[in-house]
Amino acid sequence: MSAGPYNYSYIFKYIIIGDMGVGKSCLLHQFTEKKFMADCPHTIGVEFGTRIIEVAGQKIKLQIWDTAGQERFRAVTRSYYRGAAGALLVYDITRRSTYNHLSSWLSDARNLTNPNTVIFLIGNKSDLEAQRDVTYEEAKQFADENELLFIEASAKTGDNVEDAFLETAKKIYQNIQDGSLDLNAAESGVQHKPLQPGRNQPQNQPNPTKEGCAC
């Protein structure tokens, strides 16, 4: 069992949030399928995607909840914050209004996630330089003031998309390593791979005796 959807030792849960039409679903699609999805329909409720990545030699399965940006789904979106280890907060660099709403998204995220949740700010549609409405410097400053990681990316060209997801995972992994994130807490958004009867755990699982199993 060297490849396939079940070869991993950790699960990290992500959530993608931000205004309608900023490209949340396209970022997810670009990350999981490595393809740009033109004429992407509005997300109804939530979308779900996974991909297995590697951080520091560990196989990690990212379980990503992509939420609907529309106001009418806000109650659904809010219910998914809890138990997320990473939150990708997305705005559209060509639409200032989506940037202006960041503080309200951020306060939602801060209130509803646990204090260790890694929040990554993504300025999407960086390929549309000509229509830019929010400067890099401005957003960078916002990110620094709020202690967010920040990158500009393009779901269309795929630019920096991997980086955003991977950097978030690295930061989460770091939090596990230095002990600030508890693997066994229900709301940490990270866990070991569930034990399946009759199947062996991946060989490279670290210190199973110390951390116990997730079940």
**Residue ranges in contact with other proteins by CB under 8 A:** 1, 4-6, 13, 41, 44-46, 48-50, 63, 65, 73, 75-76, 78-80, 82-83, 186-187, 191, 194, 196-199, 214-215
Nearer to other proteins (CB atom), residue 166 or residue 214 = 214
Give min distance, CB of 8 to other proteins, in A.
Answer: 11
DSSP letters for 27-42: HHHHHHHSS--TTPPP
Give min distance, CB of 199 to other proteins, in A.
Answer: 6
Nearest to 8 by CA among 77, 49, 55: 55
**Cα separation, 95 vs 74, whole angstroms:** 21
Give min distance, CB of 123 to other proteins, in A.
Answer: 27
Cα 88 from chain centroid?
Answer: 5
Nearer to other proteins (CB atom), residue 7 or residue 174 = 7
Nearer to other proteins (CB atom), residue 48 or residue 100 = 48
Give min distance, CB of 130 to other proteins, in A.
Answer: 31
Nearer to other proteins (CB atom), residue 47 or residue 159 = 47
Residue 11, φ and ψ in degrees, nearest 5? -115, 130
CA contacts within 13 A on the Cβ side of 60: 27
Structure tokens at 116: 């260790």
Q: Are 48 and 65 in contact (CB under 8 A)?
A: yes
